[in-house]
Amino acid sequence: MISGFKSFRNGFTLIEILIAVVLLGLAMAAIVASNIAFTQATTHAAQLSTAEFLIEQIRERTALLSYGELYNLNGTFNPPQDSNGRELTNFSDYSQVVEVKNVSDSDFQQADASSNFIRVTIGIRYDNAEIMNSSWIRSAD
């Protein structure tokens, strides 16, 4: 019988601990990176939702105004305005850029002052960067 030392393994080796620490570090880095990406996506989605709301406010306002009054919408509204022309001070980081111009009856593209059609174009800006735009045609009353 060969006498020798009995090997008792009561713990982890240094290599096993280092591997576990590296794996935990990689997992934590992945979790932090995904959390940042989800936060950015949520912020962008909230901005798009707000932009759509602000576009709809101008769209409703154009429906309430007479054909001749539509030209009064030309310009930039900061803070943005609701469908009744009241300032929306809670959205002061946003602005509505509205352009109203006559377009031809045939193709709705060419400028035509004698036309009975107006194109309303609106761009929504957040901190001076455009995040959404829309346009529609409005006919004379």
Q: Give the model confidence (pLDDT) of 58-116 as tens digits.
A: 999 999 998 889 999 999 999 999 999 999 999 999 999 999 998 887 777 777 778 88
pLDDT value of position 78? 94
| Helices and strands (DSSP H and E) totals, the chain | 1, 4
For residue 75, the SS3 value is strand
Question: Residue 33: pLDDT above 90?
Answer: yes
Partners of residue 118 on adjacent β-strands? 102, 138
pLDDT value of position 84? 94
Spans of all domains in the chain? 15-139
E-state strands within the chain: 75-77, 94-103, 117-126, 129-139
Residue 65 burial by Cβ neighbours in a 10 Å radius (0-12, 13-18, 19+):
middle
